[in-house]
Chains A and B, each alone.
Chain A
């Protein structure tokens, strides 16, 4: 069991935020598995090649499926075309957003930033505020009252999770924030993690987004067709489902308020197609422990660390056999969570972060 927090108040400006600070859970030191500096340096090396190859392939697939959708528009053949286009647009953008947000995908900084801006738009996450949100997520991973990216707060809202498959909750919220930012304002929670020097950038990007959406909507009205919105706008909703399928595997049902990623992150083995879509984010535990390692080196990092890590999950099926019953159980018993088990020779949980309660 983890550090006890008085209630399930996930607000960043609520009582648990202060409580987390008082209990030493905020901006704390986290456990790292042993790895030699020499090997870590090798794994941290950046290259442009893999990300350029994968990005060009992504663009090509978007272009090809988008063309098929356009060509077959008005027939049933456009359905599979937009099905794949939507996944590439609304789900594959999640991992591009993530890796380029860390600026580890490409060696060249502007390439990371360019893909990050584009992927942010596609996945419907405003680039600046979400960059800071994700920074906090890495500082205080699944710390209640501190982490703004806890995907499944307890008790789980199962209807909300079902709606997330098509961004039906997060999408409208993001548009509300875009509207707020266009007017030069932030939410109170954003104000806790976005520094003042970045506020003008938040407002500028929101206005650019609003302009793009207005142009696409005007085009749809002018052409009396939703086709323009099938390419830009709607895929962030109808194509988001795979993002949620992958994303829930990262932390859902695991411990809260612990300072060891082995307790609150999952690594899930996936097939090469899923790993292309997800850019190896399925090695999520390793990523949280060493976020400097680019996605194309995460399998090698996993091989280095696995003796010190809980057993990885062998595919989505095995993972969801654990997640679904856990979330259902948490609706009635929010204190319940999945306890991870270490291999025999792994370093034990850090003091006070074991499977029992802190004393």
Chain B
């Protein structure tokens, strides 16, 4: 269940919903986000759509700290949102993430 907290944190998913080195799609208030779990079990979040052609990054491939778009292989550093070169030229927006009691929270405001 998604619960908006007082200080803008949103309950997105359980830590177990995302495998290490993988990505999870989270839709909230007509927005879509991508939540990442790195190989060292740190969590990150970005906008869910590729800035190139609005493809859901949750279908993509996570390598180290890189997310690769499933459609055109555009790459972003999901820890910073930085585009890594053609065909992506515009960075992704990132969001603060915290983990509490086995739940992953995104700060959206």
Contact = CB atoms under 8 A, between A and B. Distances in A.
B53 interface: yes
A198 B22 contact: no
Contacts of A197: 89
Contacts of A41: 22, 61
A95 B22 CA distance: 29
Tier of interface size on chain A: 20 to 34
Contacts of A131: 86-87
A44 B61 CA distance: 7
B61 A138 contact: no
B61 A103 contact: no
Given A27-B53, A41-B22, A44-B61, A132 B86 contact: yes
B87 A292 contact: no
Interface in A169-204: 195, 197-198
Contacts of A353: none
Nearest to A196: B89
Nearest to A44: B61
Contact of A292 (B54, B73, B84): B73
B86 A138 contact: no
Interface string A4-19: 0000000000000000
Interface string B46-88: 0000001110000011010000101111010000000010110
Contacts of A139: 53, 71-72
For A104, A135, A138, the residue with the greatest tally of chain B CB atoms inside 10 Å of its CB is: A135
A67 interface: no
B97 to A, nearest CB: 21
Nearest to A201: B86
B22 A128 contact: no
Interface in A261-297: 290-292
A291 B84 CA distance: 18
A37 B22 CA distance: 10
A135 B72 contact: yes
For A37, A195, A290, A292, the residue with the greatest tally of chain B CB atoms inside 10 Å of its CB is: A292
A251 interface: no
A104 B75 CA distance: 12
A154 interface: no
Contacts of B87: 131-132, 135
B54 A27 contact: yes
A127 to B, nearest CB: 10
A260 B60 CA distance: 19
A102 interface: yes
A290 B69 CA distance: 11
Contacts of B52: 135
Given A131-B86, A132-B86, A135-B87, A103 B53 contact: no
A46 interface: yes
Interface string A70-83: 00000000000000
A78 B60 CA distance: 48
Nearest to B62: A41
Contact of A103 (B54, B70, B71, B73): B73
Contacts of A103: 73, 75
Nearest to A113: B85
A102 B73 CA distance: 6
B53 to A, nearest CB: 6
Contact of B70 (A132, A135, A290): A290
B54 A291 contact: no
Interface of A: 27, 37, 41, 44, 46, 102-104, 107, 109, 128, 131-132, 135, 138-139, 195, 197-198, 290-292
* 9 nearest A-B pairs in the assembled complex, by CB-CB distance: A44-B61, A135-B87, A102-B73, A292-B61, A135-B72, A197-B89, A103-B73, A27-B53, A131-B86
